[in-house]
Structure 1
């Protein structure tokens, strides 16, 4: 039997600041504003991956609180696990992967992020999840 294509697994962090803002990065590769996150390495748990990715991309240390959603990019075959998190140290700064790293208001999230990324933030603020959604990289399907 032929080997089937494999999915890539990634994590997304919705980091909520006590003053009501959300941590976001402006990606260095395409300039889009998104919540921080990235690929889960083979030797790490999703929780460890989300902690590592946020620190690498923003300089902010976090603690994951709860899984709030599962999002699949139907074009690329990437499944992303989204965690609501809270900051425990550090200040946002640019990195190799982020032109900017900042605490955004919810209005800024809605204005700057593609729909497929903003919905992860909005879902993380709800208490009736976790949610399962599919998208094309920009829009929900």
Structure 2
């Protein structure tokens, strides 16, 4: 059954938001992370993709804004859907290409963590994004409810 919207030109289903994030990996294997200003949690830098941006442009902008680090975007490493909030996140492996790490309005701290430190400090749904970026067999596709990964049906 077709359930059109008031104009009848497309289904009236909820829309998703698209975000981008950078899994920035240094030559020594450490990963760039931020402690978010709004909730104090450690995450990888990223945010909402703007309408006129390519995903790669969005990653470069978000990482720079939140960390002061310029990056070269290398490859897509994962697609992650928050089933509760309707957000689809595209994560790209990046290499640092300049700048000096510094906090911003959106981050209270910036740190280069080892993979073990990432697993200790971050919630599962964010740690997996960085750890997936280290796996050359990706890209990975995962869903979560905001707190835990959800197994595919």
State the alpha-carbon separation in 2 of the partners of residues 20 and 67 from structure 1. Answer: 18
Shift of 1:139: 1.3
Match of 1:117 among 104, 109, 126: 126
CA RMSD in angstroms comes to 0.7
The alignment status of 1:138 with 2:138, answered yes or no, reads no
- Give the structure 1 partner of residue 89 of structure 2: 80
Deviations 1:91-122 (A, max 9, x none): 21110000101111111100011100110111
**Secondary structure of the corresponding residue to residue 123 of structure 1:** helix
Aligned residues: 141
**1:136 Cα deviation from its structure 2 partner:** 1.2
User: Which of 12, 23, 26 does residue 14 from structure 1 map onto?
Assistant: 23
- The whole-number CA distance in structure 1 between the counterparts of 2:84 and 2:100 is 34
Q: Which runs of 5+ in 2 are unaligned?
A: 6-11
In structure 1, the partner of 2:74 is 65
Structure 1 runs (4+) deviating above 4 angstroms are none
Please say if 1:107 is aligned against 2:103: no
Structure 1 runs not aligned, ≥5 long: none
User: Looking at CA atoms only, which structure, 1 or 2, has the larger radius of gyration?
Assistant: 2
Q: Distance in 1 between matches of 2:25 and 2:37?
A: 22
